[in-house]
Amino acid sequence: MNSIEFNKIRKKIQLDKEDALEKVFELILTGVQVSNPEFLHIRGKVSCGKNVKIDLNVIIEGDVKLGDNVTIGAHSILRDCNIGKGTKINPFSLVEGSVIGENCFVGPYGRIRPNVSIGDHVSIGNFVEIKNSNIASKCQINHHSFVGDSDLAEQVTIGAGVITCNHDGAGVNRTVISRGVYVGSGCNLVAPLKINANAMIAAGSTITDEVAADTLTIARSRQVKIENWKGPKLKK
C-alpha cells in the first residue's frame, strides 16, 4: 500500500468517525444523557423520550425506540426494538427484534431474541435468554433460565435455572403457563406443555404432562441415603 492509498483510507475513517459523532450529538441535543459520545455507536435510527441515559460502548442498530426514563447499561446492544418508559437494560445485554414494556428490569447479561413481547413490570434476571415468547405483566424470570416458544400469563414466577425444552429433535413446540404459576428452580418443562393457573412446580422437577390448576406437582426421584458408604479414596 502506497502513501496515497493510505491517506485515502485514513481520511475515510476520519469522515466516518465524524459522521458517527454527529449522530450522537444530535441525540444529546434532544436531552439524552450519554456517558461518553465517542463510545456510543449508532448504526441505524433511534428515537428517545425524556431523561434517557446511555452508558459506555452501547451499540444501536436498525430502528430503536426508547421511552421516557429508560436506562441502557454499558456494552449493551439494541437492535430493532422498542423499550417502554422506566425500563432498565443492565450491562452486557442484547435486545433484538422485540418489544419490552414499562418499568421492566433486564440483565445484566440478558438476551432477548426476536419475536419476544414483554409486558409491564417484568423482571428478567442475569444470564436469562428469551426466544419467540409472550411474557405478560408482573412476571419474574430468574437467573440462568431459558424461556423459548412460550406464552406466560400475568404474575408467573420462573425460578433460577429453569429450561423450557422446546425442541424435540424434529420441530419446535410451545409451552403455555397460566396466571399465577410458580416454577421452582432447576425445572425442565418439556414441550408441548400446559401449566394451569396457580399451580406450583417443585424445584428440580421434569414436567412432561399437563399440570392442573391449584396443585403442587413434584416430578423427581426420591432422595436415597446409603449408610456406611465408602467412596473412592484420594491418591496421596
pLDDT digits over 16-46, tens only? Answer: 565 678 888 889 899 999 999 889 999 999 9
- In 3D space, the residue among 129, 153, 128 whose CA is nearest the CA of residue 142 turns out to be 128
> What's the predicted TM-score (pTM) here?
0.89
**Residue 99, beta-bridge partner list:** 82, 117
Active-site residue (options: 41, 143, 144, 167): 143
**pLDDT confidence of residue 199:** 98
**pLDDT confidence of residue 121:** 98
Amino acid of residue 180 = G
143 is catalytic: yes
- Output b/e per residue, 53-75; b: 16+ Cβ within 10 A: bbbebbbbbeebbbbebbbbbbb
**pLDDT confidence of residue 15:** 47
Residue 9 has pLDDT above 80, yes or no: no
- Output b/e per residue, 138-147; b: 16+ Cβ within 10 A: bbbbbbbbbb
Q: 87-91, 106-110, 123-127, 226-230: which has the minimum mean pLDDT?
A: 226-230
In this prediction, residue 67 has a pLDDT band, given cuts at 50, 70 and 90, of: very high
What does the pLDDT average to over 88-109?
Answer: 98
> Domains in the chain, ordered, with CATH?
1-99 (2.160.10.10), 147-219 (2.160.10.10)
